[in-house]
Structures are given as C-alpha cells and as structure tokens.
Structure 1
Amino acid sequence: MRKIKLALCDDHNLFRVGLATILGQVHDFELILEAANGQELIDKMPRKMPDVVLLDLQMPVMDGTATADHIRQQWPLVKIVVLTMHDEDRMVLHLLEKGVSGYLLKDADAGEVEKAIRKVIDEGVYLNEFVSKAMLRKMTNKTTVAKPVNAFYNSKILLSEREKEVLTLICDGLSTNEISEKIFLSPRTVEGHRLRILEKTGTKNTAGMVAYAFKNSLV
C-alpha cells in the first residue's frame, strides 16, 4: 500500500512534535518533512516531495500565505491544508481562492485532521462545517445589490444547466462518485463538468472553485 507522504510546517515546536506523533500512528501516513517556517519548507521540498502539506499561517521568515503561493506556483499537484488559529472568514475565503485544499483550526481533533488529509487526496478539497459557515456568512453579509435574474451569470460567467447542477452538488460537499449516482452520469462525465467549471471560473482547484461560487453568489 502506497503511503500518503506528509509535510508539516509550523514554528511552534511543541505543537509540531505533538502532531507529528499523532500522524505517525496512522498506518498509511508517512511524515517525510518538518519545517519551522515557509522558507525552510520550500528549501527542503525539492529533495522530499510530499503529497500534502499541513501549513501554519503565522510564522517567521516566510509566513503561510506566501508559502502557499510559492507551493501552488512551483508544485501545483501538492495539496495544502492550512492548520491555524486564525478564524477570520476573510482569511478562509482568501486562501481557498488561492488554491488551498482545506482549512482547519488548531483545536480540531486528530480524527478531523486525518479525515481532511484523506479527503484532499481523494477529492481535492475538504470543506468542514467551519469553512461552510464562513462561506455562508460571507455571502449573507454582502451588501444587498440588484442581482441578475440568474445568479449563474455573475462575473460574465455562463454555465450550462448541468454545470450549475454539478457546481451546486460540489458545494454541498458531494464527491464525484456521489454526484454521479445522484444525477445519473458517469464519474468521467462529472469530472469533465468539474474541469469546465474550473476553466470558466478561472480557479485553480475545487476548493478555489467552491470559494468563488460562494463569493459570487453562484450557489
């Protein structure tokens, strides 16, 4: 069985050691890289390439936001799960739009961290209740303005009826296979719709697409 290779980047040594210990107890996880700041992580990654990076935001030398930008540009296939104390809605949506695959608070339990890692590997995104509520609050708190009859035409984006349906189900947290079963399409066809939505919205991955959809009232 191929193990999921992980990197952990956090400047708090005690937290890093504790999480490393927890991750080491999962049989198919392999922590291959630890770093105390973004620059250290980036310097080490060409020699040890992880599948998923668990990334703190507030760090010296290079913070998490800059580190996420660099990883997305240089190694776009690497998934990023932010693990932080920052719970501002603005920060959540900003990082998801940048292509981060998941956003966890540091008070999350070990089971949720494991679930998030597996979800971003299997589906490309992990949207927990905290993130979903942040998206809904952002959409609800937007200044009321005149909206087009069909919100799917926002920002000059034109989606087909089927693409609208697929996007809505993705935002509901359904996987490709679950969407396939629900609307009676093959997984390959669902994936094709997802890729076209990514192209039309100009987003980098599923997490960014979902954040874009909520920010622009597409769902």
Structure 2
Amino acid sequence: MRIVIAEDHPMFRNGVRSLLATIDGMEVVGEAATGEEAIAQAEKLLPDLILMDIRMPGMNGIEATQAIKEKYPSINILILTMYRDDQSVFTAMRVGAKGYVLKDADEEELLQAIRMVGSGCAVFSTEIAERMMHYFAAPPAPEPAGIGGLSANPLFAELTRREADILQCIAGGETNAQIAARLHISAKTVANNVSNILNKLQVLDRHEARKLVEQSRTMPKPGRLG
C-alpha cells in the first residue's frame, strides 16, 4: 500500500512514518505539510491512501480531501486528527473521506484503520463510532424560538441568535465587512461566526450556506396531525 502523510507537525509525521516503515506491505511514498501540498502529492504520486490531518496551514484537510476525491476518486483518504466534534466527522465523510481516526489512537488501532480504508472499507476510531451512535440515537434537540427568522427549520436549530442573523446576511449576499457594519460588530467577530456557521451546517463555504437557506425556503412547512 502506497501512502502519503499529510500533516503539518514534523514530529507527529515522523512518528507515523517510522511506524509504517516497520509494517510489511506499507510504504510511505510522500509527505505534505499543507492542503495544497497534499493535492500536489496526490497528482504526482497517485497513492493508494492519504493520511490527512484537518487543521493545516493554507487549505485545510477537508478542502484538500474534497479536491482530491473529485479528481482522483480511487485514492482513499483516512482523516487523522485531534478534532472529535460531530461537525468535523460528518463534513469529512461528506467530502469523501473513508475513515476518521483520532491522533491519540493506539498503534494497532491506527494500523487496522489504514488496512481497512486501504481496502476500500469505511472505519472510525472507537470514540468516534460511539459518538456517532449516540448522535443518531439521541432525540432531536428542541427548536429555539425566534432566532433570526430561521427557527422554523430544524436545519438551523443549532445556530445562536447572532449566527442566525449573520446567516441571513450571508443569504443576502453580503460580505463580512457589510455584515460587520450592519450588526455593529468587528469583522473578526463576523469571520469567527461564519466559521462556526459553516461547521454547524456541515457546509464548506458561504456559497453552500446560502444555497442551504434558499433550499429551506422552498421546503414544505411541517404540519400538525389531527
């Protein structure tokens, strides 16, 4: 199995490389420290599998995963990260990653995940699998009242009032500077909220967030039986 490691921390990258060097049938053929480098290595080397960190300088691992899977769907990607929140997991799966393993997994768990994803199977670390089971088993969260005019749709139930207001502005095509001026907050605060909104809605960018709002407006409103 030909493997590329995409990870911006040299010590962690070196540790994974050293581990894989001891395993028959696995060969590290390339390394990357940014999302852009991961894409370049995918194009140059056409590996069987990429170990992909999420948070890297420049393009992040989610964006790199999407770009690679769109152009090279046969390359399997295993997310290896410290991020254990539901949004990161679902967004990674949505863009084509085949597995999601935490960096604090033991060596055997990591190797097993690499083998499974390399063979085309989907795999999650134990903690992530438990979180996903809990997520799907839990009853829906109660819908907040009156937030930003979007509360009638459960798609936006997790948004705070401020985030909902900003999402309304995004849906109207406003820039961060325009939103900051309208809501009398700093551009940095807007940017932070936009990042939270994209994570909560499990979308990649403002364009997809705007499309989600537009689609929600055409959805039939839930009725009451009886």
TM-score interval, normalised by the smaller of the two chains:
0.5 to 0.7
Contact 2:62 2:91 in 1 (8 A): no
- 1:61-210 aligned at under 5 Å gives the runs 61-139=58-136, 140-143=138-141
| 2:18 alignment partner, one of 15, 18, 21 | 21
Secondary structure of residue in 1 paired with 2:17: helix
Q: Distance in 2 between matches of 1:61 and 1:123?
A: 29
Deviation at 1:124, TM superposition (A): 2.3
TM (norm. structure 2) is 0.59
RMSD: 1.6
Deviation at 1:144, TM superposition (A): 7.0
Q: Distance in 1 between matches of 2:45 and 2:88?
A: 29
Deviation at 1:45, TM superposition (A): 2.3
Q: Distance in 1 between matches of 2:118 and 2:22?
A: 19
Secondary structure of residue in 2 paired with 1:53: strand
Contact 1:92 1:134 in 2 (8 A): no
Q: How many positions carry a matched residue from both structures?
A: 142
Q: Distance in 2 between matches of 1:29 and 1:67?
A: 23
Taking a change above 3 Å as real, the CA distance of residues 98 and 141 of structure 1, as seen in their structure-2 partners, is: farther
Gaps of 5+ in 1: 146-219
Which letter does structure 1 place at the counterpart of 2:81?
Answer: T
Secondary structure of residue in 1 paired with 2:44: coil
Higher relative contact order (CA 8 A, sep 6+): 1
Q: Distance in 1 between matches of 2:41 and 2:119?
A: 25
| 1:35 alignment partner, one of 32, 35, 45 | 32
Q: Distance in 1 between matches of 2:91 and 2:41?
A: 26
Q: Distance in 2 between matches of 1:33 and 1:97?
A: 25
Taking a change above 3 Å as real, the CA distance of residues 31 and 51 of structure 1, as seen in their structure-2 partners, is: same
Which letter does structure 1 place at the counterpart of 2:86?
Answer: D
Structure 1 range deviating more: 35-44 or 134-143: 134-143
Taking a change above 3 Å as real, the CA distance of residues 134 and 94 of structure 1, as seen in their structure-2 partners, is: farther
For the pair shown, the structure with the greater C-alpha radius of gyration is 2
Gaps of 5+ in 2: 144-226
Q: Distance in 2 between matches of 1:113 and 1:73?
A: 25
Structure 1 range deviating more: 76-85 or 88-97: 88-97
Secondary structure of residue in 2 paired with 1:27: coil
Secondary structure of residue in 1 paired with 2:5: strand
Contact 2:105 2:125 in 1 (8 A): no
Contact 1:79 1:124 in 2 (8 A): no
